[in-house]
Structure 1
Amino acid sequence: MVATTDRLILRHFTDNDVAALYEMNRDPQILEYIPAAPFQQLSDAERVLQDVIYADYQQYGYGRWAVEFKASSQVIGFCGPKYLPEFGRVELGYRYFPQYWGMGIGYEAASAALPLFKERCGVDEAIALILPGNRASVALANKLGMQILSRGKFLGHEVDLFHIWL
């Protein structure tokens, strides 16, 4: 376990989370502002779990954290750090199933995660990359105290780079 809140547990992903990871990366509604192709099969999630998430845990000592809803013990999304070599910074990333949107889950999880960036990642700044038009993510970044720093490109898409000093 990485952190807990009243409603959530933030923890490392495990092999048991493959199905949830698959679902959150294939739903067009979730992926509207994500610059990646939807997963086509469960093996896509298995590959990302091994080659990205677990690889980040191994290489950096941190990576995306599963967000589990205490009331159901179900993984409802992810929140947490990812080192982005393209920017030389650690990103706060988050993604949730639509039935949990508008419930303050994003703010609750991110508020628990951000203070750990300094302790676990050894960084004094966190960034968020947000595609233009993603008003919900902009609102969350602003609520967390993040400010827009610049506009850039990521995976071939225009993104707004938000940041916060920790």
Structure 2
Amino acid sequence: MIIQTERLILRPFTEQDIDALYLMNSNPAMLKYIPTVPFTDREQARELFHNVISRDYQQRGFGRWAVEHKADNKVIGFCGPKFIPEYNEVEIGYRYFPEYWGKGIGTEAAQAAISVFPQFGITQIIALILEGNIGSEGVAKRIGMHWREPSEFMGHKVNVYAKVL
């Protein structure tokens, strides 16, 4: 476990989370503001786990973390740091199943996550938020991030939010 809050546990993803990763990356509502094509096969989630998430943990000592809801003991999304080579900075990213939207979970998890970032040598963060994603911008603002600039990432217009920890 990385950290827990009253309602949530943030922890590294494991092989047992591949089904949750598949659902997160195949749900059209969850991908509305994510510049990627929806998964169509669970093998894609397995590859994501082994070739991206696990590799980040090994190479950087951190990566996206599973967010587990204590009340129902299931992974409901992710929150955590990821090094973005195009910016040479660490991004905080978060994504949750729609049934958990509007309950303060994004802010709760993000506040908990950034409280431990210094343990991983992370002293400043950015958030790359696709234009129109008001929910994610709200979370960024509530955790003390400030709009820095418009930019482009993966061929999409984004707003860059930033914070020094």
Same fold (TM over 0.5): yes
CA RMSD across the alignment = 0.6
2:86 & 2:5 partners in 1: Cα distance?
A: 32
Structure 2's unaligned 5+ residue stretches are: none
Q: Which amino acid aligns with 1:92?
A: I
Where 2:95 maps in the other structure, the secondary structure is strand
% identity of equivalent residues: 52
Shift >3 Å, 4+ stretches? none
Cα pair 1:117 1:126 within 8 Å, conserved: no
1:104 & 1:123 partners in 2: Cα distance?
A: 24
Where 1:71 maps in the other structure, the secondary structure is coil
Look up the match of 1:61. Answer: 61
Is 2:131 aligned against 1:137?
A: no
Deviation of 1:152 after TM superposition, in Å, equals 1.2
Give CA deviations for 1:69-113 in whole Å, capped at 9, x if unaligned. 001110000000000011000000000000000010001100100
Q: How does 1:3-152 map to 2 (within 5 A)?
A: 3-120=3-120, 122-152=121-151
Cα pair 1:3 1:9 within 8 Å, conserved: yes
Q: Which amino acid aligns with 1:86?
A: E
2:115 & 2:67 partners in 1: Cα distance?
A: 16
Is 2:131 aligned against 1:153?
A: no
Structure 1's unaligned 5+ residue stretches are: none
Q: How many residues align?
A: 165
1:117 & 1:154 partners in 2: Cα distance?
A: 23
Cα pair 1:5 1:112 within 8 Å, conserved: yes
